[in-house]
Amino acid sequence: MAIRYKIDVLAALKAAGFTSYKIRKQGLINQTALQRIREGKMISWEQFAVVCKLLKAQPGDVIEYVEDQPDAEGSPAAED
């Protein structure tokens, strides 16, 4: 995937005062999205908007575009 997290989102949330427990208890971000963040996978735009709001950050502060690495034959690597 060409989009990835630039920061450790869960660590940044914790530093901002939002532990996983507090996030779940207050229903700020759903459990599936938290697990996807832990795995480095992208979440829905709605959930991502909540992350940006909690961190008081712009999307570019949290994610970045990275060129796909070509495979041995020179074509872009296959994605999951």
Q: What percentage of residues in the chain have a pLDDT greater than 90? A: 80
**Banded pLDDT at 1 (limits 50, 70, 90):** low
pTM: 0.80
Quote the mean pLDDT of the chain: 90
The pLDDT tens digits for 34-46 are 999 999 999 999 9
As a whole number, mean pLDDT of residues 4-22 equals: 97
The domain segmentation of the chain, as residue ranges, is: 7-65
Half-sphere exposure of 48 (CA within 13 A, CB side): 15
Parallel, antiparallel, or unpaired: how do β-strands 3-5 and 63-65 relate?
A: antiparallel
The pLDDT tens digits for 55-69 are 999 999 999 999 887
